[in-house]
Amino acid sequence: MTTKRIVRRTTQSDVHDIISSARNLHKSPTGVPQSPAFNSNLSMQDVRQFIQMQPRCTGVPFQAPVGQFTINNIQLPGDARLFLGLIFTNSDLRATSVDTFTMTLNNNKIIDNGSIVLFSQSNSQSITTQYYQFLQPLTGKDVFNFQLNTAGGLDGILQLHYI
């Protein structure tokens, strides 16, 4: 090859790279799963903050006999900053209108004698409500306690949604 061809080929390659680099900047290679930061010029700190702001859920299974039943010391992760709400889910909605619960957050009664029926959804039906909103600020060292009063016993999962 002559020097002229090498220079021309190198120049064409460089021009192609310059033209396509803007189009390919911050794009992942073909077949690689997309990351929230890859196509948006976000730093890793921004991505971590974005991920921390996504809603999360903790489920607590329970089997409450007839009468009073307590679910003690439910703790959310330390980076939880906002309690979004809760929902009782169960496979057969046996809760009756006399079934109640009391939610305590850090020794403060947040819900007193709330109806389990109003805060629940049966898994045998299509889920139409992700959770029942009840916004509360969190400190990162929060402790939830639930006192359930059931007339006929109840089993299910208490789901706590938070950011």
CATH at 136? 2.60.120
For 15-39, what is each residue's pLDDT tens digit? 555 555 445 555 555 655 566 555 6
Same domain for 31 and 70: no
Neighbours of 117 (CB within 10 A): 14
Which tokens in the block code for residue 35?
């990351």
CB hemisphere CA count around 100 (13 angstroms): 6
Residue whose entry in the numeric block shows the structure tokens 């061809």: 5
Same domain for 87 and 7: no
Instruction: Identify the domain containing residue 153 by its residue range.
Output: 55-162
**What three-state secondary structure class fits 51?**
helix
Same domain for 143 and 104: yes
For 39-58, what is each residue's pLDDT tens digit? 667 777 887 887 778 888 99
The residues near 53 (Cβ < 8 Å, ≥ 6 apart) are 163
Instruction: Measure Cα distances from 144 to 26, 100, 140, 147 in Å.
Output: 43, 16, 12, 10
Closest CA to 127 of 83, 69, 88, 70: 88
Distance CA 141, CA 79 (A): 9
Same domain for 128 and 80: yes
Q: What is the pTM of this model?
A: 0.70
Per-position pLDDT tens, the chain of length 163: 555 555 455 555 555 555 554 455 555 556 555 665 556 677 778 878 877 788 889 999 998 889 999 999 999 988 899 999 999 887 666 777 788 999 999 999 999 999 988 888 876 666 667 888 989 999 989 999 999 998 888 888 899 999 9
Q: How many domains does the chain have?
A: 2
Same domain for 59 and 24: no
Same domain for 152 and 90: yes
Same domain for 77 and 36: no
